[in-house]
Chains A and B, each alone.
Chain A
Amino acid sequence: MIEIVDLHKSFNGQNVLRGINLTIQKGSIFVVLGGSGQGKTVLLKHLMGHLRPDRGRVVVHGVDINTLDEKGLNDFRKRFGMLFQSAALFDSLTVGENVAFPLREHTRLKEAEIQERVRERLRVVGLEEVTQKMPAELSGGMRKRVGLARAIALKPEIILYDEPTTGLDPITTDSINRLILEMQKKLPVTSVIISHDIESTFSIADRVAMLHEGKIIEQGTPAEFRRSTHPYVREFLKIGEQK
């Protein structure tokens, strides 16, 4: 379970997060919706300890990650997988080497076992044939899928997705959504997704929250969320569905 309690963060006097309270159940898909510049990525960075809050706590599986020192935080991050908005593949390594990277860093698997795990993870995302290609040779959608294969290489307990479907065509978006759902079935993971893609959100989320001006203004199941009376949520849903 992930608990975010009264989280505050400001940069150069600008309040980005202003008292976030969220509880994310283990094994669920939790989507944080919000417009651009509302602090979604800042919130995600707090979950992995990339940013320290000005006030408040982030408790993951009973551990307040802000109490961890550098080494403790490093070890704790092995329990996470993260898919970046740009996929963030290492462009000097091949696709296979990218997926093998966390395995080489944190396991004592033999090379043959690593190669087998890489093939298996790339098979999960449907890209077994691109092992030897460089990231620059892949399309945006393929890069995201490789990023996902790398994120799940160490069998993480929590996967964080930073706008996984932004900038993708509808077919690739659908394939990414299906991958997230399949991942949830195959691995016992908790998924936290930040997005502004309403259609994708309602097709995969167990719970949805809306972040606006640094605060959570609405949260609930997709059905509850659709019935929200909050004017900003209504407008966000209306414009999003028109698109």
Chain B
Amino acid sequence: MWPKGSRAGSWIQRGADSSGFLLLKTLSSLGDFAFFCRSFLQWTFRRPFRLGPFFHQLEFIGIRSLPVILLTSAFTGMVFSLQVGETFRLFHAESLVGATVGLSLAKEIAPVFTSLMVVARAGSAMAAEIGTMQVTEQVEALSSMAVNPIHYLVVPRVLAAMLMVPCLTAVYGFVGVTGAYFVSVHLLGIPEIAFTRRLTYYLDADDFIGGLLKSAVFGFVLALVCCYRGYRTTGGAEGVGRSTTQAVVVASVCVLVLDYFLTALIINFLPEF
């Protein structure tokens, strides 16, 4: 169609080359990640169970994330109820503010925002710490001392994230609703009884369970992605920076994309969700 060597032909050729390269690179990365996951699963159930690093990670991911979770959840609940309250006032439906905020927090906002906060605070630290260990030969030193780095570095982090992200999600939801209650009742003048009665009427166990299940999966995926990016770091300080950025971006996107599919799945299994 285009003469050989023409400018258009050359552009198409270059475009095809770079698309092919990108496709191969993506497939290669996915394959490598699959092997990493397999290795993680193999080492998760092997002795010794590393309780020391596991409890350290519980503290790092859970306890040390509490301040940022408390702060963001309180203001999320407050601003949400402010917006919803003002809008619902137009339809004389202010009594539904509690239920709306509660349902949104339990089902979506708490699991997703908590996970994003954990990615930003703990996930970035995981990628940076493991990445630094990689480029300073500390990961290789572990292997040299007959300690599997995935067993020692990755397994405790991922398991701790799976456990702590749901706990933080529960805290996020509770504090968010408390913030919403404060704004609705004390600033918007919505009757307390209307707020709490509608909240408890519409919110049931399935909403909580669904949200917590999602957050456990988010915890697993975000920790695994961040550890993987750290583990594959090359290129010194610049490489650590690059890995950390990639870890935060990829883990955040994974959380948001997974949210849709998990919600669709949970709706099938928990009809009340």
Please report A residues at the B interface, Cβ cutoff 8 Å: 48, 50, 70, 74-78, 80-82, 84-86, 88-91, 101-102, 105-106, 150, 154
Contact pick for A77, options B133, B136, B146, CB 8 Å: B146
Q: Which of B133, B140, B146, B148 contacts A84 (CB 8 A)?
A: B140
Q: Does B136 contact A88, Cβ atoms closer than 8 Å?
A: yes
Contact between A101 and B137, CB atoms less than 8 A apart: no
B87 at the interface (CB under 8 A from A): no
> Does B137 lie within 8 Å of A105, measured CB to CB?
no
Which residue of A75, A88, A154 is within 8 Å of B138 (Cβ)? A88
20 contacts between A and B (CB under 8 A): A50-B140, A74-B147, A75-B146, A77-B143, A77-B144, A81-B144, A82-B141, A82-B144, A84-B140, A84-B141, A85-B137, A88-B141, A89-B138, A89-B141, A91-B136, A91-B138, A101-B145, A102-B145, A105-B145, A154-B145
Query: Size class of B's contact patch?
Result: 10 to 19
Return B56 CB to nearest CB of chain A, in Å. 10
By a CB distance below 8 angstroms, the chain B residues around A106 are 145-146
Bound together, the chains give a CA A150 to CA B141 distance in angstroms of 10
Residues of A within 8 A of B133 (CB): 90
How far apart sit A85 and B140, CA to CA, in the bound complex (Å)?
A: 12
| Residue contact A80 to B138, C-beta cutoff 8 Å | no
Cβ contact within 8 Å between A88 and B140: yes
A50 to B68, CA, bound (A): 41
- The residues of A that contact B140 with a CB separation of less than 8 Å are 50, 84, 88
Q: List which B113-170 residues lie within 8 A (CB) of chain A.
A: 133, 136-138, 140-141, 143-148
Q: Is the CB of B137 within 8 A of A77?
A: no
Collect the chain B residues with CB atoms within 8 Å of residue A102's CB.
Answer: 145-146
CB-nearest residue of chain B to A77: B146
Are B137 and A78 in contact, with the CB atoms below 8 A?
no
B137, B144, B147, B148: the one within 8 Å of A80 (CB): B144
B136, B143, B146: the one contacting A105 at CB < 8 Å is B146
What separation, in Å, do the CA atoms of A101 and B143 have in the docked complex?
12
A74 and B137: CB pair below 8 A?
no
A85: chain B residues within 8 A (beta carbon): 137
A219 to B136, CA, bound (A): 32
Q: A84 vs B147: C-alpha distance in the bound complex, in angstroms?
A: 16
> Nearest-CB distance from A234 to chain B (Å)?
33
What is the distance, in angstroms, from A90's C-beta to the closest C-beta of chain B?
A: 6
A76 to B146, CA, bound (A): 8
Among B133, B136, B146, the one with the most A-chain Cβ atoms within 10 Å of its Cβ is: B146
Minimum CB–CB distance for B238 against chain A, Å: 17
| Also in contact, A74 and B148, with CB within 8 A (given A85-B137, A88-B136) | yes
Q: Enumerate the 9 nearest inter-chain pairs by beta-carbon distance, A residue then B residue, closest first.
A: A88-B141, A88-B137, A77-B146, A82-B144, A78-B146, A102-B145, A84-B137, A74-B146, A88-B138
In the complex, what residues of B have CB within 8 A of residue A80's CB? 144
